[in-house]
Amino acid sequence: MKRKKAVIALGGNAILRDDASALGQQKAIASSAEYLADLIEEGYELVITHGNGPQVGNLLLQQMAANSKNNPAMPLDTCGAMTEGAIGYWLQNALDNVLDRREINKKVAALVTQVEVSAKDPAFTNPSKPIGPFLSETEAQEEALRSGATFKEEAGRGWRKVVPSPLPISIRESSIIEELLEEGVVTIAAGGGGVPVVRNNEGDLQGIEAVIDKDFASQTLADLIDADLLIILTGVDYVYINYNKPNQTQLKDVTTNELMTYIDQGQFAAGSMLPKVSSAILFAENNPKRKAVITSLNHLSSAIHQGEGTWVSKEKKN
């Protein structure tokens, strides 16, 4: 029997809720691991991806606070790898524990993942992803002169550094991830969208200051390993049009063409639902016989068994 292969992208609430301490995040992850174990118990071969936005932001603050000649702050790509490793460890540990308790004979591995992007991606000429602390206009101007960084104002909150958010073109470790899945290993990969790398003039890969959207990285990985299902978890049970308006409507079974029409109407917020919807569209378009689902962690089981959540396919099911 063919094993069901799924890439599942965890939303931020699966990791960080109210308590940003290591213990608080580990407790949130331990709760999330129970939902993931349900799918593993049902025979899914899982690749788990996750965000790291709050974590890398906090780490950057710590790096800046301790920055000195003898203890220099680490660059963004390295901070991304550090948080990917930390969250990967927490997830691995939590899944090991729940699988052991359920007597499920599965191994778990977390893999720091390099995601290749193009140096010619237009995102590099239009940095848009905010990172780090809020600064006053004067502080932002001084830092821009010192480091060459780009800052943008968020109305009423101050100025923040912005970095490029290029699209992934390849995932260096995708073949390793496939091998792990073949061996039955639950694999945690592409955390925080992975560590962005580009080819330099000598043809070598090198890290770059950028942030890759984790949903696009998850979709790229799902394509590369020929996953049967892409599961994108977020804070709501369904994707909605006219969200938070009197005529709000939930989307259930929807085609990629329908979603693209809604995108043209401006139905999805650029910083939240739009990348999730766009990633689901790409996966379904690239794999016409396969589907993506967008739902919440709490509704994961009912999405799989009762078809709840927003299911995206290239064509309407019969």
Give me the catalytic one of 5, 161, 276, 291.
276
Give me the catalytic one of 51, 88, 129, 132.
129
Let me know if 13 is exposed, middle or buried by CB neighbors in 10 A (0-12, 13-18, 19+). middle
User: Which residues, at least 6 apart from 16, have a Cβ–Cβ distance to it below 8 Å?
Assistant: 24, 25, 28, 54, 55
Let me know if 285 is exposed, middle or buried by CB neighbors in 10 A (0-12, 13-18, 19+). middle
Active site residue 214: yes
CB 213 within 8 A of CB 276: no
Active site residue 120: no
Active site residue 52: no
| Cα Dmax for the chain | 65
In degrees and rounded to multiples of 5, residue 78 shows phi and psi of -70, -40
In degrees and rounded to multiples of 5, residue 311 shows phi and psi of -100, 130
Active-site positions read 12-13, 129, 214, 276
